[in-house]
Amino acid sequence: MRMGRIDGRLALLHNDRALDVERASNGKFAAEPDRVFERWDEFAQWSEGRSLDDAVPFAPAQVGAPVLRPSQVFAIGLNYQAHVAEAGVPPKITSPAVFTKFVTSITGPYDTVMLPSDRVDWEVELVAVIGRPGHRVSEKDGWSHVAGLTVGQDLSERTVQLAGPVPQFSLGKSYPGFSPIGPSLVSVDEFADPDDLALSCALDGEVLQDGRTKDLIFSVPELVARLSAVVPLVPGDLIFTGTPSGVGMGRNPERYLPPGGTLVSTVEGIGSLTNRLVAESSAHDTA
């Protein structure tokens, strides 16, 4: 099952066509997509085999983030070994580096992103969305608590992130628009192997990152287990699972996102984010 937010409303998606869920269910499910996660099992059962004969075409401009108001947004740092190496961190990682991205940073898959400085970095990520509440979930049950997967960008303003005396990961990664997600949420059963998906990002056609989620140090089920060992997980929560190598800060010389560029972030079987980049000062000048 593939779902998304079309003109702000919950929809089942197939290619470039959308079925409005509230209308198709005669009001059984609300139009607001964030509300569906509390009834995810019921919704998944209702949508199984649902005819899309009444689906209507939609355009990218109508598509919003599949989740806008999660209770919690977890993010994982240094979760691919090659990224650990480029970050200059000792190679033995025994527990995930966890931080949060604040909810106000979430934006849609085709939205314009304002760059607050000349040190904004890219990080394509697979994002897991929680569909069942869980506390102290075992790793073997981890996937059963995931509603689906989507594409995410963990954009990072490196100066703020690394300002001392201790790093400020959450602040540096939570400017408005710094968490684009979408374009759809795809249920786990749609993937032949949800533990092995290609992911990449490109700037104006130049590939910057190219990896596979099989190389995650901590897999999605293990992240669910480790996070829920401390924090009860709530339906709709997001887990940004980490980025492969190829980030700008890890290059020599360092490289960052330019105003005027277009960043495309892709995960196999889900789709792509396409975010145009503008300087914050320019956006204010034209507002």
**Digits of tens for pLDDT over the chain (287 positions)?**
999 999 999 999 999 999 999 999 999 999 999 999 999 999 999 999 899 999 999 999 999 999 999 999 999 999 999 999 998 888 889 999 999 999 999 999 999 999 999 999 999 999 999 999 999 999 999 999 999 999 999 999 999 999 989 999 999 999 999 999 999 999 999 999 999 999 999 999 999 999 999 999 999 999 999 999 999 999 999 999 999 999 999 999 999 999 999 999 999 999 999 999 999 875 545 44
The answer to whether the pTM exceeds 0.75 is: yes
CA distances to 30, 63, 114, 277 from 283, in Å: 35, 22, 7, 10
Determine the pLDDT at residue 87. 87
CA distances to 94, 126, 215, 247 from 81, in Å: 12, 16, 7, 13
Determine the pLDDT at residue 282. 57
Determine the pLDDT at residue 286. 47
Beta bridge partners of 273: 265
What would you measure as the largest C-alpha separation in the chain, in angstroms?
Answer: 58
Identity (one letter) of the amino acid at 39?
R
Determine the pLDDT at residue 46. 97
The answer to whether 55 touches 4, Cβ cutoff 8 Å, is no
- Under DSSP, the state recorded for 80 is B
